[in-house]
Amino acid sequence: MNWIAAADGPLSEDDFLKRLLITGAAGGLGRAMRSRLAGFAETLRLSDIVDLGTAGPNEELVVCDLADADAVMKLVEGCDGILHLGGVSVEDKFSKILNANLLGLYNLYEAARAHGQPRILFASSNHVVGFYRQDEHIDVKAPMKPDGLYGVSKCFGEALARMYFEKFGQETALVRIGSCFEKPINHRMLSGWMSHDDFVSLIGCVFRTPMLGCPIIWGISDNDSKWWDNSHASYLGWKPKDNAERYRAELEASIPRPEPTSALAVYQGGMFTQDPIFAED
Amino acid sequence: MNWIAAADGPLSEDDFLKRLLITGAAGGLGRAMRSRLAGFAETLRLSDIVDLGTAGPNEELVVCDLADADAVMKLVEGCDGILHLGGVSVEDKFSKILNANLLGLYNLYEAARAHGQPRILFASSNHVVGFYRQDEHIDVKAPMKPDGLYGVSKCFGEALARMYFEKFGQETALVRIGSCFEKPINHRMLSGWMSHDDFVSLIGCVFRTPMLGCPIIWGISDNDSKWWDNSHASYLGWKPKDNAERYRAELEASIPRPEPTSALAVYQGGMFTQDPIFAED
Amino acid sequence: MNWIAAADGPLSEDDFLKRLLITGAAGGLGRAMRSRLAGFAETLRLSDIVDLGTAGPNEELVVCDLADADAVMKLVEGCDGILHLGGVSVEDKFSKILNANLLGLYNLYEAARAHGQPRILFASSNHVVGFYRQDEHIDVKAPMKPDGLYGVSKCFGEALARMYFEKFGQETALVRIGSCFEKPINHRMLSGWMSHDDFVSLIGCVFRTPMLGCPIIWGISDNDSKWWDNSHASYLGWKPKDNAERYRAELEASIPRPEPTSALAVYQGGMFTQDPIFAED
Amino acid sequence: MNWIAAADGPLSEDDFLKRLLITGAAGGLGRAMRSRLAGFAETLRLSDIVDLGTAGPNEELVVCDLADADAVMKLVEGCDGILHLGGVSVEDKFSKILNANLLGLYNLYEAARAHGQPRILFASSNHVVGFYRQDEHIDVKAPMKPDGLYGVSKCFGEALARMYFEKFGQETALVRIGSCFEKPINHRMLSGWMSHDDFVSLIGCVFRTPMLGCPIIWGISDNDSKWWDNSHASYLGWKPKDNAERYRAELEASIPRPEPTSALAVYQGGMFTQDPIFAED
Amino acid sequence: MNWIAAADGPLSEDDFLKRLLITGAAGGLGRAMRSRLAGFAETLRLSDIVDLGTAGPNEELVVCDLADADAVMKLVEGCDGILHLGGVSVEDKFSKILNANLLGLYNLYEAARAHGQPRILFASSNHVVGFYRQDEHIDVKAPMKPDGLYGVSKCFGEALARMYFEKFGQETALVRIGSCFEKPINHRMLSGWMSHDDFVSLIGCVFRTPMLGCPIIWGISDNDSKWWDNSHASYLGWKPKDNAERYRAELEASIPRPEPTSALAVYQGGMFTQDPIFAED
Amino acid sequence: MNWIAAADGPLSEDDFLKRLLITGAAGGLGRAMRSRLAGFAETLRLSDIVDLGTAGPNEELVVCDLADADAVMKLVEGCDGILHLGGVSVEDKFSKILNANLLGLYNLYEAARAHGQPRILFASSNHVVGFYRQDEHIDVKAPMKPDGLYGVSKCFGEALARMYFEKFGQETALVRIGSCFEKPINHRMLSGWMSHDDFVSLIGCVFRTPMLGCPIIWGISDNDSKWWDNSHASYLGWKPKDNAERYRAELEASIPRPEPTSALAVYQGGMFTQDPIFAED
């Protein structure tokens, strides 16, 4: 299936990138995007720290540890777009987060700087603001309140990207992804869910807009219930089309409504706010 | 008629409350809700200071003066939700407002505190901000500018509810109702009108959301013309569906357009701003 | 063609003005409006500094130099609405801008003051904020950053109108028109375009609202991509219906995407920011 | 002692009011003001619900229950300024607050309306925002968060005064007094203390400024530590001169520093946030 | 007298400009500055449309009509700083304001552009915001509300200066002078007064700061009573030292306090808000 | 010398901490504090990665690499206050910053969590906002714009501290130090300088305030010229007393004023904005 058909939108030309690098391509979100982004670039370069299976048509597969500077340098060469989904994506031991999300991100930006500054979409996370309450409506100027080491690493990532933008002109879209799954699977996702199709259309906007700059974007569908305001980024012309509300009845039928005082109901970061600091081995 | 059909929305389960108390159930708005909220609760307990007619299926009727603390204490017992429409709802003598809207509200909150803090929807009013001009667009942080003693009593109510929330955790939705009628009947209501169906869907959102907190919500339909910004409360997922604009042609055909300098055209509170202080007997 | 049909909206009565003056009626936008506004007034008085052709039914044609105070005084007499499109509308020599946009506007407001203060829609321009970046989202409180002498003349016009409002009660809609063409013809217009139909419906709202005040309104269609926030003026009930996005594919097929660092991509004012100061003869 | 000497400031003329009414004159703050405000008016009319002792020169003593409308009507007659300190000033039973602070205030404003609208200084309270944290810095636009029924009654008072201003032009200074004592007596007062002299100079500013309007003013001295921003009211020219910091050493020597999690350290309202609802008899 | 002694501040080097042009040097403010700015530049070039008397040491006198482009071009040549006090400084006929404040200012900026862009201090005016009320506290982001044609011309000037800054890098300080007299002479000036010495120290800061940019600065002394917030411009390090309050007693002794509803007490622009539009001859 | 004498302020009791840990104690700032903080605690535990010389009375010296988790765990044990000056404090290779400022800080917070959460003052830096212009006035809500890898590491630190506060209640003062030297040594420091004495008094406020929370504080003296607004943190009662202006004449006599377009004059981060990314070996 071609995303352009799926999104039913105005973007029409195929292959507007030469080579799009997708990191973290073996993860859940990476796999969902791999199958949808074929039309975006002549070549998809797919990378992960684990095996990626067999290359499809116009695919290049690269196993790469983001903590390995030389490997990342080579990985980025020849790409004119980067969808950076790689790294640790849940709470974990700090040593793992340090390598993948701090050192790994630095390696990626240095490689981009060395190779013509291809535009980057960085998968940041709503967990940079996880300690806001669900009855708060915030925009991107709200000071960060990360809910764990994972969230802190995304704060680092946003700061690093901003510095490369101000200092070197590197453009990045900082997408604070809510929950990008097939469908919402708990009450919190009725507000924070982003459909795969909406993420695809956002990726299209990010790589096609004449000037990107370095915006923060809340990665959510057009949900009836929402906590986050994307109006500052309306210049991108992104109009998500899905709505978590469509799944409410199904969800309410299968999952008990959380108590008003439970972390799942109180905090935007949900249960992440309850994660402990994981001990190193 | 069942509200769920009316709202054509995602809320689907019936009877999500055990017993919903509706105060002021004999008033215009109370009667409109009585017929629509049957599906919300196993039992509707309907209350007013005047007679409520005959109980329908699953209805309990209680004549009660809100100024009578003991009566109110009994009235609230056994309810897990309260739709508080009771009290004086237009400009009146202060003594009447004092009893119904000040003392009465205190009695209600004390009763709720004694009986497990059932969630409350409090019918506040746009008349807490009646002296803003119609060319001003305001949000809930705009300092209050009540347009009469009635409006002042609603300021009191919002403050009281906030205090019970901060101090005791009592959740309340403070709904600043514009004009909740069958349809708009003057030019001012083209901006401030809320349809009965939209109010019903709001009531649904308020009582179903896992965490409510203590939000202020502007009670208006999705009118083309509007003065008030509800984006702070989008976590509730309320999407009103009606639009006063649909009635403009009919209205303009029957009512002369007000002069640009008339209170009806200048102030959000309209003619309420011109009410005198009513003399005590 | 009747605008009401075109806009497919709720405004229905014909001829709600006695005599609507349109200045600059021979220009591109003026001609587009002339054909669409017939239904708004019993008489259209059309004016320009150049010849206006033959009068249609219910049309009055007046050749008039806005810099001529006496002529403008006569021009305005008998009108109960003014659509002021006249004056210089691109960067030009200061002497020309001075006569048409500074002196001419003063003459117009003095004439209006002398003749009962007919409501005015003043065609201001996005070029009062041309030096904001396209990745900035601004509202009408953003301090002005004009991009040339033309833009500066529109800042003057907004200030003059505001003064007449505060001092004398003269109502004016200050419409910062983006690009009001048949369709968007470059990438910048994907954000700043306003369709003729949407302008017509805005004109309807401005002249029909009971109280207008002196609002600034961004003159753009309901484009997916936008830089400007009109929510402060939602009391007018204007809901533009067109969307430049519809033309993106066609536009991208015929025009190369601008470089991220080109003025066309960077500034809201686009290439106007690159205009020189034109020398006097 | 003459307040002008005490304040060491620029106000110099004596007796700028004919008759200043002080309600609550027998209370702690009332007594402190009685001795300091002699120079403000030809006559001080002192009122309280309890005995006021013996009248001094140029003093009139009136025992009056604020809940008695007729008595209040007479009390206000002939006054051109009112310092309203009367009513309940700590947490108490609602019935007492209702009579003194709700009904009593209404009576006062009705009496003022009947008698030429003498300017009023209304002793509001920091307890209208008592549930803000001490590490929050707020201004008068911060939504109210009262910490008890007393605080709620002051919210009512501010709303009532605002309505009389908008509707009838009655001017009032809404002074949210922190703690107006001889000196700070706990750690919280290091931020919220107002000296008697500073209150006197504020009273002078309020009654001498040509136009007062209806401002909210935080009643605090020029303390090094502060939570509240008075810059919006700088048009009054009030410059408090005392500083609670001067008493810190003495205070720290005699009182243990509160725990970081105690209500005294956490909330701007301090221990008021811990008061129960007092039972009616 | 040397301004550096007068200001008693940290600026110490003499003659930090080669040639400072002062326009409007024959006016009241111009004369006050002429005598104080000798130490700022090797040469003072003094200009006005009327005679300037006899040149002092290191002074050049030039009679010049600002509306004469060629004359202004010559006037600016060789200057590395411009203090622009020239033009009409009170309400007047539009034709006079047009020539002096619109055309004249354009001529000045064109001349500056031709001659190396000497830094400019432009005497704007508080009358660009004259219709704000005196109980409003505003900063430079407050939308303009000019109180007459004179005020409108200053709005034009600020816009023109901003455009030259954004487009060509021309630095200007936009000083919204309150009332720069020997001492305050009415109640309104207790808030809006700026002493001559404080203006001198501001001029020093403007011309000495390494980077000026294009700030708006409220030209007022350190008055106890104030309406305007200069904190955004604190990078300049300007600390006015005088205080209109010092003159209050003297002023109150000689002038009756204005009524609360008089324009002098209500509007920041005072009586300017009551000026008519002056008829052309 | 005792800091209390130096600060000439109200804090009076000695030894209000049992054991204060100072990391980075061998650095320039660390040495300046070591000599001044003796009166703050019964014992000073001084730590650095390099030799600290000989222990004075009541001093404990610990050589410790912050990247060594076990060593840091031991270092923190027994302390009830931490002044964290350690780590890399200028632009450097990322590997060094990673170890000292990312891993090192994590180790410190884990140690604090294990040992009773002693209050922490974390030396953050103005370089988290280095890319703001010097003519911008910002507060702590301004989104970060770090000017290099060092600045990015401080963004990380602030995020980490915030997370430990929200999740575990760990209190930290995030002090964005400008330039803490003996005296300002370039024009930029006229705005960003903090005297040693003022830092000492800030340290006193941070450790003595009953509740600290997790505030960001701009570490600057009371300079006439300033870019940063500390009003949000006025609850701490910190009143810096020094003023860089005192050194302007001396500085201007010895250093040429920077050009208006040089990084030193344009950016708050000054020359740091021009640092390259340092290559790894």
Domains defined for chain C, CATH in brackets: 13-274 (3.40.50.720)
Residues A187-192 have a mean pLDDT of: 97
CB atoms C137 and A239 under 8 Å? no
Q: Does E47 touch chain D (CB under 8 A)?
A: no
Task: Using an 8 Å CB-CB cutoff, list chain D residues near B147.
Answer: 163, 166-167
Residues in chain C, how many? 281
- Chains contacting F with at least 3 CB pairs below 8 Å? A, D, E
Chain C residue with minimum CA distance to A205: C225
Q: Does D235 touch chain E (CB under 8 A)?
A: yes
Per-residue pLDDT band for B225 (boundaries 50, 70, 90) equals very high
Task: Using an 8 Å CB-CB cutoff, list chain D residues near F211.
Answer: 133-135, 258, 260-261, 265-266
At residue D96, does pLDDT exceed 50? yes
Task: Using an 8 Å CB-CB cutoff, list chain D residues near B143.
Answer: 140-141, 162
CA distance B175 to B214: 10
Residue B281: the pLDDT is: 81
Q: Does A8 touch chain C (CB under 8 A)?
A: no
CB atoms F167 and A148 under 8 Å? yes
Task: Using an 8 Å CB-CB cutoff, list chain E residues near C69.
Answer: 280
CB atoms F236 and D249 under 8 Å? no
Residues E60-80 have a mean pLDDT of: 98
Residue B275 C-alpha, separation from nearest chain C C-alpha, in angstroms: 21
**Tens digit of each residue's pLDDT (9 = 90 or more) over E255-266:** 999 999 999 999
Best interface-test mutation with F: which of E4, E229, E234, E236 has the largest number of F CBs within 10 A? E234
Nearest residue to B101 via CA among B161, B52, B50, B21: B161
D260 token code pair: 């970081």
At residue B3, does pLDDT exceed 60? no
Residues E65-73 have a mean pLDDT of: 98
> With b meaning 16 or more CB within 10 Å and e meaning fewer, what string describes F259-276?
eeebbbbbbbbbbbbebe
Q: Does D250 touch chain F (CB under 8 A)?
A: no
Task: Using an 8 Å CB-CB cutoff, list chain D residues near B113.
Answer: 277
CB atoms F265 and E171 under 8 Å? no
Chain F residue with minimum CA distance to D224: F237
CB atoms C234 and B225 under 8 Å? yes
CB atoms A227 and B235 under 8 Å? yes
Nearest residue to B103 via CA among D149, D90, D65, D160: D149
Q: Return the H-helix or E-strand segment holding D167.
A: helix D149-168
Q: Do F and C have ≥3 inter-chain CB pairs under 8 A?
A: no
Identify the DSSP state of D254: H
Close Cβ partners of D186 (under 8 Å, ≥ 6 residues apart): D251, D255, D258, D264, D270
Chain C residue with minimum CA distance to E273: C167
Best interface-test mutation with C: which of A172, A218, A234, A239 has the largest number of C CBs within 10 A? A234
Residues A130-135 have a mean pLDDT of: 98
B·C CB contacts under 8 A: 64
**Tens digit of each residue's pLDDT (9 = 90 or more) over E175-186:** 999 999 999 999
User: Which of A12, A169, A215 has its CB closest to that of C135?
Assistant: A215
D180 token code pair: 């107006």
- Chains contacting A with at least 3 CB pairs below 8 Å? B, C, F
Residue B11: the pLDDT is: 42
Q: Does F235 touch chain D (CB under 8 A)?
A: yes
User: Which of B137, B224, B253 has its CB closest to that of C239?
Assistant: B224
Residue F8: the pLDDT is: 39
Whether D156 contacts D234, CB under 8 Å: no
Residue F73 C-alpha, separation from nearest chain E C-alpha, in angstroms: 43
Residue F281: the pLDDT is: 81
**Taking a contact as any Cβ pair under 8 Å apart, which residues of chain B between 136 and 165 contact chain D?**
140-141, 143-149, 151-152, 155-156, 159-160, 162-163
**Tens digit of each residue's pLDDT (9 = 90 or more) over F185-228:** 999 999 999 999 999 999 999 999 999 999 999 999 999 999 99
- List C-alpha distances in Å: B219 to A56, B229, E64, F163: 54, 10, 64, 37
D·E CB contacts under 8 A: 65
Residue E226 C-alpha, separation from nearest chain D C-alpha, in angstroms: 5
- List C-alpha distances in Å: B13 to B16, B79, F105: 7, 19, 50
Residue C212 C-alpha, separation from nearest chain B C-alpha, in angstroms: 7
Task: Using an 8 Å CB-CB cutoff, list chain F residues near E212.
Answer: 135, 260
Chain E residue with minimum CA distance to F248: E10
Residue E19: other Cβ atoms inside 10 A: 19
User: Which of D169, D211, D238 has its CB closest to that of E135?
Assistant: D211
Burial class (CB in 10 A: 0-12, 13-18, 19+), D125: buried
CB atoms A145 and F156 under 8 Å? no
Asked whether the ipTM of the predicted complex exceeds the cut of 0.90, the reply is yes
More confident position, A137 or C13: A137
Per-residue pLDDT band for E11 (boundaries 50, 70, 90) equals very low
- Chains contacting D with at least 3 CB pairs below 8 Å? B, E, F
- Chains contacting E with at least 3 CB pairs below 8 Å? C, D, F
CA distance A183 to F264: 52
Backbone phi, then psi, for C20, in 5-degree steps?
-105, 120
Per-residue pLDDT of chain F (281 residues; tens, 9 = 90+): 233 333 334 344 567 899 999 999 999 999 999 989 999 999 999 999 999 999 999 999 999 999 999 999 999 999 999 999 999 999 999 999 999 999 999 999 999 999 999 999 999 999 999 999 999 999 999 999 999 999 999 999 999 999 999 999 999 999 999 999 999 999 999 999 999 999 999 999 999 999 999 999 999 999 999 999 999 999 999 999 999 999 999 999 999 999 999 999 999 999 999 999 999 98
Q: Do F and B have ≥3 inter-chain CB pairs under 8 A?
A: no
CA distance B39 to B61: 17
Best interface-test mutation with F: which of D224, D229, D250, D271 has the largest number of F CBs within 10 A? D224
Backbone phi, then psi, for A32, in 5-degree steps?
-65, -35
Per-residue pLDDT band for B14 (boundaries 50, 70, 90) equals low
Residue F102: other Cβ atoms inside 10 A: 27
Residue D239: other Cβ atoms inside 10 A: 18
Residue A13: the pLDDT is: 52
CB atoms C145 and E152 under 8 Å? no
CA distance D73 to D85: 17
> With b meaning 16 or more CB within 10 Å and e meaning fewer, what string describes B220-246?
bbbbbbbbbbbebbbbbbbbbebbbbb
Chain A residue with minimum CA distance to F67: A95
- The structure's pTM equals 0.95
* DSSP per-residue string spanning A159-190: HHHHHHHHHH---EEEEEE-B-SSS--STTHH
Q: Does D171 touch chain E (CB under 8 A)?
A: yes
Tokens 């060593």 belong to: F71
How many percent of chain F have pLDDT more than 70?
95
Per-residue pLDDT band for E13 (boundaries 50, 70, 90) equals low
Query: Any idea of the CA torsion for D51, D54, D59, D60, to the nearest 10 degrees?
Result: 50
> With b meaning 16 or more CB within 10 Å and e meaning fewer, what string describes B52-85?
beeeeeebbbeebbbbbbebbbebbeebbbbbbb
